[in-house]
Structure 1
Amino acid sequence: MSTENNSELQYITVPEFSKSLGIHEATAYRYIKRGLISNIKNIKGHIHIHIDEIEKTKEKANLNPVDDRNCYLTTYEVFEVLKKDGLCIRGISWIQKKVSSGLIKKYMKFKNKLYIHKEEIKTLKHYYFEHYNANIPSRKIEDYYTINELSLELGISKKQIHNYIYENKINAFKFLHAKGSIFFLKSHLSLIKEKIGYIDKYNPKEYLSIQELISQLEKHKIHVNDSSIRYLIYTKRIPNYVMHLNKYYFHKNELSQFLNYFAKKGDYEHNTHTETPEQEQKQKQKQNKPTTNFLTVKQASEKLQAPPIWLRGLLKDYFPNSKKVPAAGGYHWLVSKTDIDNFQKEYYYNHKTRMLHLIDHYDLNTLRSISGFTFDKLRLDIKKGLLTGAIKINNRLFIPIQNANRYLESLQYVLDTVYDTHKALEDLLKHYNNHPPPTDLIKTSSIYKKWVDIKINSSNARPSSLRGYTLKFINLYDKMLSYFHEEIWTTSNAKIELFLSNKTLSNELKKIFVQFLSYCENQNGINREKKYLYYYTKKDPAYSEKNIYSFEVYHQYYTHVQNIEMHITNATTCRYYANMWAYTIILLTNNWRGTDIVHEFPSIELDSIRADKLSWFKTNKLTMEESQSIINQLYIKLRNAVANKVSVLYNFYVSPNLIESLAHSLVISELHKRNIQNYIALPENSLILGTFFFGKKIVSTRVSGMDQHLNFFNPSPQLKDFDCLTMNRSTMTYLFYSILEEDGEDADLALEITKNTRSHKNSDTTAIYIQAKNKDGSINRVSVNLLNRGMFGWLYNYILLRLKEDIQNGQTIEERTDTIKELRNSISPMELEKWAIFLQTIHTNKNRVLDEIKYLPMEELKTLALKLFTNQMPSKEKTGQCLVYPNCKRKNLKTCYSCEYFIPEKMVLIEAISELKRLTSSLESTKYDAIRKRDSFFLLNIILLIDEAIKGFGIDVVNSFLPLKEKTQILEKVKQHLLL
């Protein structure tokens, strides 16, 4: 023990090591990485360096002190010497560049400082005078103007001076020590003025520019333009002008000459007398008199639904009959109505791009977005003649929509949005081939490739996630090749920890590296004393893996989505709004992962409902029957939906009071999807919740929505803090506690049911998502019917009553058979005497089952309920449970509808009604009494099942499966064939 302590005393920390050498800590770590420091050790989680490395590092890194200090100068000292000798250089950077370029031979570095031998000063002077001195007329700074001084001297801007320099009209000089400033020789001032056209006699107070002259003439009711004045100059009608800086100027005394000239010409109105107020008013009315065939720019822009400034830019090319007329303070444009009509036949203003677009045409950018092709490919196909009818307007290409659609169809091109394991392995192999490992890492590289292949092949990730994993594996591969210089399993702990401390390595890469290190050591039979685990937390302190919405906020979400009247208008006008409405409802009643929702949710068939276009919802709403029929579709289509992350079948549920809201949001979303006329199978176009997708080559999802989605919460701004995972946790937590409150203290039952709704394989995983709270009520009861999953019937109701221990000794079995007695009223078309034997049989069978449940111990009943709630008691029907599974009491039956041990779920009605129609057909066609008697018994059981559903869910819900009128017709049809 003492020997080990003495050994540790020979090591010092990195800061102590750095201080002893006079270097920075970061430099010490670089020396370790470069191998200049080899004897290192990890002591209590920190890197320590042996004291013998101090002298060794001085030699290896050239850190020994300069032998003869008097012969060397620092770079700043050299700079001062050169400056005193009249050299104009830019600080020490100029000197350092000469060292790096190889001009200076005698120099040394010590403690990160550069020292130059005195003899090299002559070399620097010789180089300077050879390359710089000849180009400088004078080395005295007082002989020059700065750019600011020249700007004031000439009365022009610095920008204009830079323009003159660019045009080679002014010569500028630079001094190396002046940090980029430019100077102008004072003796060149007259030459500068001559080259730029500067007139000394010009005085801005005495002269007028052309625009200033036009303004003065307008005050005298003379309206001319720039061209008119220039014409007078070119024809020498007005000889008295000066050219200053290439612009025409007129002395103010010349104004009267202009007035007389235009007055004599007579083409312009010129009144020398003062008008009366009445005359001025008439003149204004005359000027403002509307022109029937023209509109102002403002009026025209309103008609075209475009900004006025955009329209003005098009007047010259697209509105040839427009005219410029005098107006108060200048001119304004009038746009011909004929031009506007012609324009609207061909063009329109696109508010999204804020540009001109051709009607019935795609611009190239729109076609690129639709197809997923690059601009280069589209231009090449236009050139090849594959994409025809292209029109070029203002350097923009437009393609007729019909031609574009034919082009896309002819290619039969579906964008490769699926980045699968095959593509991932191809990318990895390509990278491996382009980056072969060094000889000392060949085995490590081989093991890494094998390990990555296993990881990729076992991944169930979506394309975007898989692409991300692939890039991380590639990145880590490159990092390891550049850092390690020996097989990883032979590398010391200190070097591994130094690699993990590298700030350029992301937390994800460090986690992957630790996993690979463990695999690599197992493959080579290495049992390292120190085992590495890497765990990191989110940087955001506000982030919490246990964060959920408070009861109040969660309940606001729940009530917000149910307001159909409020949402329906916005949903029909905005696809993002409709998608977010549906998405939020699904998260509130199911624990599906967001990415699975947007990928797995199916399209809606609209044949069974009245809505066929979005405008229908302006005056109509779906009935409860229509809403339930939409939910029935979802149930059937989502039977085989798989949780992508864990490859477990999902369970789809809809809380009863969300059925109408979900149906409306999904139907509207489906109509939006159908309105998108695209031929390319992008998820954003082909999936009902397509607005959550982005990207073309690798399609990704934003499961917490984009800014456009969050507009759904505008009526309730406090709900805009929407997060998919937080909503998942909240739904799971409140479901867990709602079950717990239903069943007292049985947390295992609650956890198991919650696990089932999330499609987790392990309850421990589910527990991670549930926010634990004390029993004191810190999580409130959420009365949103989260546990209502659709089971119904007398047997199910009896089990719930037993679980709640609400059955008292005084209750009778007859009270539980009220359903049977009430059914007599619903089957009036049939003769009641035919039911006598049938009802007696049902009554006897049910009594026997009720007795079995009544005397079942509570713990056994809880276990039974747990299995029922988690679908562990399957029946022959997929949409129901068997109370005695796996010991079937009716093995000879093909269906379970007539079995007293069968507990149906709502969606059993789909199969039951199909069976009802089959039995009806069989009764009508059979010639045998035995078959008629058997099918009569089964048919009446299904009728009882339907009537129990009516009692449990209401007539409107059941009507969505089988309209009451149709049920009556079936009974009328078969009553003469029944045999009981």
Structure 2
Amino acid sequence: MSTENNSELQYITVPEFSKSLGIHEATAYRYIKRGLISNIKNIKGHIYIHIDEIEKTKEKANLNPVDDRNSYLTTYEVFEVLKKDGLCIRGISWIQKKVSSGLIKRYMKFKNKLYIHKEEIKTLKDYYFEHYNSNIPSQKIEDYYTINELSLELGISKKQIHKYIYENKINAFKFLHAKGSIFFLKSHLSLIKEKIGYIDKYNPKEFLSIQELISQLEKHKIHVNDSSIRYLIYRKRIPNYVMHLNKYYFHKNELSQFLNYFSKKGNYGHTTHTETREQKQEKEKKQKQEKNKPTTNFLTVKQASEKLQAPPIWLRGLLKDYFPNSKKVPASGGYHWLVSKTDIDNFQKEYYYNHKTRMLHLIDHYDLNTLRSISGFTFDKLRLDIKKGLLTGAIKINNRLFIPIQNANKYLESLQYVLDTVYDTHKALEDLLKHYNNHPPSSDFIKTSSFYKKWVEIKINSSNARPFSLRGYILNFINLYDKMLSNFHGEIWTVSDAKIELFLSNRSLSNELKKIFVQFLTYCDNQNGINREKKYLYYYAKKESIYSEKKIYSFEIYHQYYTHVQNIEMHITHATTCRYYANMWAYTTILLTNNWRGIDIVHEFPSIELDSIRADKLSWFKTNKLTMEESQSIINQLYIKLRNAVANKVSVLYNFYVSPNLIESLAHSLVISELHKRNIQNHTALPESSLILGTFFFGKKIVSARVSGKDQHLNFFNPSPQLKDFDCLVMNRSTMTYLFYSILEEDGEDADLALEITKNTRSHKNSDTTAIYIQAKNKDGSINRVSVNLLNRGMFGWLYNYILLRLKEDIQNGQTIEERTDTIKELRNSISPIELEKWAIFLQNIHTNKNRVIDEIKHLPIEELKTLAIKLFTNQMPSKEKTGQCLVYPNCKRKNLKTCYSCEYFIPEKMVLIEAISELKRLTSSLENTKYDAIRKRDSFFLLNIILLIDEAIKAFGIDVVNSFLPLKEKTIILEKVKQHLLL
């Protein structure tokens, strides 16, 4: 215990004072603030407390121990005793209230914990049975109906039961231990039925209500109303009826009696036998003429309802307000309505019948309920924001609010936070420095503090964490710093092992902080040359999530995701009206064709340039779609922009691929997402750098992302509800697993090849990491063959085709030597030179070089060929061109060439066309302008090689895809320009 030597009185530090009382340091500071501790001194910025304050504070703060602990119980122990004795009370709050009210006299507080004397339990029991038990007929819960059970028993709604309770027709009981629940005594059932007018003999299958009776009479051309039926009951003309729940019901056998009665009346349209045939025909003729007279520009209610796709009864309710030109015309048995065609056309321009809500809706508007579902906000918040003017354009129709979809989307986007201010390492270090300055160390901890600051700075500067994770690290570092200041009073490398172990056993220290502390302790010991007897290692098992068991989607579900994103026609309609929908469409498609981490997708995917396509606004998609050429041009953009994208977690370059089946889906979804983003920037202050998949972000100061989507995103799966169980990690694992097994099947169970290729797509540093993500399945076929094209990564050309052929031959063991020879001949024929006059020698030389490479591959042992294939698939055989592989890397056969387009050992990838076409244009300009034959001959050779490369790409991918790189018309123009300059 430290003392202040310059004073006669003895003082101790706040940590020492807290330890003496057995309280937390923060509690001691709170006592000082409240004035419970008065004798304190501030010496050199540190607070010291007189030792006499220990006893005084015990008295003031009720910190003295309970004298006779055995005679007292905690409130929870009292609750357990009362509960065991049959009292139905709700937790300890009821007991605490009785202490506060003064009912309990003998109680004590120690360290803010309440203790009650055992003798007071009798007081609580007496009070309970006096005030509560007398009102409850039975304590047994099985003697009661819940409201759900009573609703089923009586066949009425819970809302109706609440109404009966309000009208005092039903007695309900409440138990203290069942918060918010009401119960109904089973023995009161007959009394309840009597009070509400329930008739046991009533059967809905045998009885008709008044409205049902009217409907039955209309089928017999008898048109009456509710008042007519009630009048008959009042006049006792219909004696056989029952009153059930205060409503009239008639037995179905009584229907004939009603028909006879109204037939005798004669003025309800029921055909009688007294009417002659001639009279009947004349009457029908007049009715027909009258009916056809005004119908040129009108439709019957039934015809109008069919046109509007709405029920007739719903339409009749709107005639007065929405169809002002409607007419009532005479008809057999009464009259009917005719609806003006003009009114119908005007109605369809503004309104429609919503089959889901069965209500009137405004076109291009959300009703408040729909907006609530999309936004996740309450009705009260939405109404308040309408009142504040944040949600504009609201229209009130029939007491229902409608908001224009465009305004609603603007409102939703205005509440989204984007990465306008990035929380980076610079800001993180500023926060740390600010905290250090506000919490200076004691004189005997200065060196440790200095080491800690330096160590943390190294950690932060080497971190690639996203803002949200980075902020979490900072809070951990700050928390540990404060804990060390409170617990250590000397440099940390001088602290004994016993104190280190005591600190690590502290329950208030989280597992993560213990792990960081052990790392820092090791750093300090190394810096000071300390060799402890004990080496500290701290490891803890993290809590397993619901997806910890390597869950993947079944092949059926995975394939449904794969086909769902390809339904372009369906998705365009929804995506153009909702940015969340468009973003989820793009995001899911990316996950199906790439193994990128979700957080990297939403951060790294770039904006789309729209200059090369026709789409310039969302409404364009109402009648148009992108062509394959336009779609490929979008993918080309992504390839160029994502060429240097880095996997944030492991700092490895990502590989961006797009499966051929998903090119159009991804292009449409990203273009629509880009247009949404631009629309938002036009009416909000979002920065130009805001991200294309911005709807996944949330948070204001520190922005994070929900990589498995928000509730609004999951609307993308509404057409297929079984897909709503969407999880980014499960999708990653599924894509890797099905890619792995599709490669395994293609390459004869060569698991090394499969694992290497899968590792490469995920940008893992080693295959062991990749293997963790892959869900193992039995070889007997328990995982279905993936029919989606996961392995097509864009390599093409005669050399690539021949390597695949050789690998395939090894798998097809049943193939004969003759069949194998025929296959090779067929391949050679496909690459044989076409005898063109001017290119004959050039093509013959190319053909000779290709044959030499084919012979080399043909005689290569299959195991060596597999090893070579692994390296090619995993980009371990780089060429001078970034978008291609070299078969003989690192032993380049054409070192004198600047490019690889003319080399027979070059295996191009699809995106090589971008650079190749740029090179083609450069060579064209060179041929036109050079004066030297040597340069013309050299460039002619290179140009014709690029032309052959383009032709091979057309064979591999089709004209539309190659057109997106170089329109064939432009290629023809280039050849026309240079043909006179070619020198071979």
Query: 2 CA distance for matches of 1:500 and 1:930?
Result: 78
Deviation per CA, 1:120-156, whole angstroms, max 9, x where unpaired?
9999999999999999999999999999999999999
Deviation per CA, 1:445-473, whole angstroms, max 9, x where unpaired?
33332221221111111222211210111
Cα 1:649–1:816, aligned 2, differ >3 Å: closer, same or farther? farther
Please provide the CA RMSD for this pair: 12.4
Deviation per CA, 1:28-84, whole angstroms, max 9, x where unpaired?
999999999999999999999999999999999999999999999999999999999
Q: Please, which moves more after superposition, 701-710 or 932-941?
A: 932-941
Query: 1 CA distance for matches of 2:493 and 2:534?
Result: 12
Alignment check: 8 A CA contact 1:21 1:54 kept: yes
Q: Please, which moves more after superposition, 700-709 or 862-871?
A: 862-871
Q: Please, which moves more after superposition, 519-528 or 143-152?
A: 143-152
Task: Give the Å deviation of 1:792.
Answer: 0.2
1:281 aligns with 2:294: no
Query: 2 CA distance for matches of 1:877 and 1:857?
Result: 28
Task: Give the Å deviation of 1:748.
Answer: 2.6
1:717 aligns with 2:737: no
Alignment check: 8 A CA contact 1:414 1:681 kept: no
2:607 aligned to which of 603, 608, 623: 603
Find the counterpart in structure 2 of residue 190 from structure 1.
190
Alignment check: 8 A CA contact 2:361 2:367 kept: yes
Task: Give the Å deviation of 1:229.
Answer: 41
Find the counterpart in structure 2 of residue 618 from structure 1.
622
Task: Give the Å deviation of 1:780.
Answer: 2.9
Query: 2 CA distance for matches of 1:632 and 1:621?
Result: 18
Alignment check: 8 A CA contact 2:681 2:688 kept: no
Q: Please, which moves more after superposition, 390-399 or 923-932?
A: 390-399
Query: 1 CA distance for matches of 2:841 and 2:628?
Result: 37
Structure 2, unpaired ranges of 5+: 277-281
Alignment check: 8 A CA contact 1:578 1:669 kept: yes
1:471 aligns with 2:475: yes
Task: Give the Å deviation of 1:572.
Answer: 0.6
Cα 1:878–1:130, aligned 2, differ >3 Å: closer, same or farther? closer
Query: 2 CA distance for matches of 1:938 and 1:186?
Result: 95
Cα 1:912–1:626, aligned 2, differ >3 Å: closer, same or farther? same
Alignment check: 8 A CA contact 1:801 1:807 kept: no
Find the counterpart in structure 2 of residue 924 from structure 1.
928
Q: Please, which moves more after superposition, 672-681 or 192-201?
A: 192-201
Alignment check: 8 A CA contact 1:829 1:972 kept: no
Q: Please, which moves more after superposition, 951-960 or 328-337?
A: 328-337
3-state DSSP of counterpart to 1:8:
coil
Task: Give the Å deviation of 1:924.
Answer: 2.6
Cα 1:389–1:93, aligned 2, differ >3 Å: closer, same or farther? closer
Task: Give the Å deviation of 1:947.
Answer: 0.9
Alignment check: 8 A CA contact 2:328 2:336 kept: yes
Cα 1:448–1:362, aligned 2, differ >3 Å: closer, same or farther? farther
Task: Give the Å deviation of 1:574.
Answer: 0.4
Query: 1 CA distance for matches of 2:246 and 2:567?
Result: 71
Q: Please, which moves more after superposition, 726-735 or 787-796?
A: 726-735
3-state DSSP of counterpart to 1:3:
coil
Q: Please, which moves more after superposition, 71-80 or 725-734?
A: 71-80
Q: Which has the larger radius of gyration?
A: 1
Task: Give the Å deviation of 1:604.
Answer: 1.0
Cα 1:481–1:322, aligned 2, differ >3 Å: closer, same or farther? farther
Cα 1:279–1:74, aligned 2, differ >3 Å: closer, same or farther? farther
Alignment check: 8 A CA contact 1:371 1:680 kept: no
Find the counterpart in structure 1 of residue 117 from structure 2.
117
Query: 2 CA distance for matches of 1:295 and 1:82?
Result: 74
Query: 2 CA distance for matches of 1:586 and 1:183?
Result: 54
Q: Please, which moves more after superposition, 450-459 or 326-335?
A: 326-335
Query: 2 CA distance for matches of 1:816 and 1:251?
Result: 86
Deviation per CA, 1:651-693, whole angstroms, max 9, x where unpaired?
1110111001000101111111111135877579721111111
1:768 aligned to which of 744, 769, 772: 772
3-state DSSP of counterpart to 2:839:
helix
Cα 1:158–1:6, aligned 2, differ >3 Å: closer, same or farther? farther
Q: Please, which moves more after superposition, 122-131 or 573-582?
A: 122-131
Query: 2 CA distance for matches of 1:14 and 1:673?
Result: 55
Query: 1 CA distance for matches of 2:770 and 2:917?
Result: 37
Q: Please, which moves more after superposition, 364-373 or 879-888?
A: 364-373
Alignment check: 8 A CA contact 2:270 2:333 kept: no
TM-score, normalised by the number of residues in structure 1 = 0.60
Query: 1 CA distance for matches of 2:123 and 2:245?
Result: 47
Alignment check: 8 A CA contact 1:549 1:727 kept: yes
Task: Give the Å deviation of 1:878.
Answer: 1.4
Query: 1 CA distance for matches of 2:49 and 2:449?
Result: 30
Query: 1 CA distance for matches of 2:84 and 2:560?
Result: 79
Task: Give the Å deviation of 1:863.
Answer: 2.1
Alignment check: 8 A CA contact 2:913 2:965 kept: yes
Alignment check: 8 A CA contact 2:748 2:811 kept: no
Alignment check: 8 A CA contact 1:817 1:843 kept: no
3-state DSSP of counterpart to 1:66:
coil
3-state DSSP of counterpart to 1:678:
helix
Task: Give the Å deviation of 1:905.
Answer: 0.4
3-state DSSP of counterpart to 2:114:
strand
Deviation per CA, 1:561-619, whole angstroms, max 9, x where unpaired?
11111211001110010001001111111111112111111111111111111111111
Alignment check: 8 A CA contact 2:737 2:775 kept: yes
Cα 1:587–1:186, aligned 2, differ >3 Å: closer, same or farther? closer
Percentage of matched positions with identical amino acids:
94
Query: 1 CA distance for matches of 2:759 and 2:147?
Result: 76
Alignment check: 8 A CA contact 1:415 1:681 kept: no
Query: 1 CA distance for matches of 2:245 and 2:444?
Result: 73
Q: Please, which moves more after superposition, 42-51 or 114-123?
A: 42-51
3-state DSSP of counterpart to 1:513:
helix
Cα 1:175–1:344, aligned 2, differ >3 Å: closer, same or farther? closer
Cα 1:351–1:852, aligned 2, differ >3 Å: closer, same or farther? same
Task: Give the Å deviation of 1:325.
Answer: 30
Query: 1 CA distance for matches of 2:51 and 2:528?
Result: 34
3-state DSSP of counterpart to 2:688:
helix
Find the counterpart in structure 1 of residue 279 from structure 2.
none
Query: 2 CA distance for matches of 1:705 and 1:666?
Result: 17
Task: Give the Å deviation of 1:702.
Answer: 1.4
Deviation per CA, 1:234-269, whole angstroms, max 9, x where unpaired?
999999999999999999999999999999999999
Cα 1:401–1:562, aligned 2, differ >3 Å: closer, same or farther? closer
Task: Give the Å deviation of 1:960.
Answer: 1.0
Find the counterpart in structure 2 of residue 7 from structure 1.
7
Alignment check: 8 A CA contact 1:830 1:975 kept: no
Cα 1:280–1:885, aligned 2, differ >3 Å: closer, same or farther? closer
Task: Give the Å deviation of 1:178.
Answer: 25
Find the counterpart in structure 2 of residue 849 from structure 1.
853
Structure 1, unpaired ranges of 5+: none
Alignment check: 8 A CA contact 2:390 2:411 kept: yes
Cα 1:141–1:791, aligned 2, differ >3 Å: closer, same or farther? closer
Cα 1:452–1:811, aligned 2, differ >3 Å: closer, same or farther? same
Alignment check: 8 A CA contact 1:214 1:225 kept: yes
Alignment check: 8 A CA contact 2:936 2:982 kept: yes
Task: Give the Å deviation of 1:852.
Answer: 0.9
How many pairs are equivalent? Answer: 979
Alignment check: 8 A CA contact 1:545 1:769 kept: no
Alignment check: 8 A CA contact 2:365 2:403 kept: yes
Q: Please, which moves more after superposition, 568-577 or 802-811?
A: 802-811
Deviation per CA, 1:401-420, whole angstroms, max 9, x where unpaired?
99999999999999861212
3-state DSSP of counterpart to 1:927:
coil
Deviation per CA, 1:830-851, whole angstroms, max 9, x where unpaired?
9921121011101110011111
Q: Please, which moves more after superposition, 258-267 or 319-328?
A: 258-267
Cα 1:18–1:230, aligned 2, differ >3 Å: closer, same or farther? farther
Cα 1:667–1:824, aligned 2, differ >3 Å: closer, same or farther? farther
Task: Give the Å deviation of 1:730.
Answer: 1.7
Q: Please, which moves more after superposition, 201-210 or 904-913?
A: 201-210
Cα 1:667–1:192, aligned 2, differ >3 Å: closer, same or farther? closer
Task: Give the Å deviation of 1:292.
Answer: 26
Deviation per CA, 1:147-166, whole angstroms, max 9, x where unpaired?
99999999999999999999
Query: 2 CA distance for matches of 1:746 and 1:174?
Result: 69
Cα 1:607–1:502, aligned 2, differ >3 Å: closer, same or farther? same
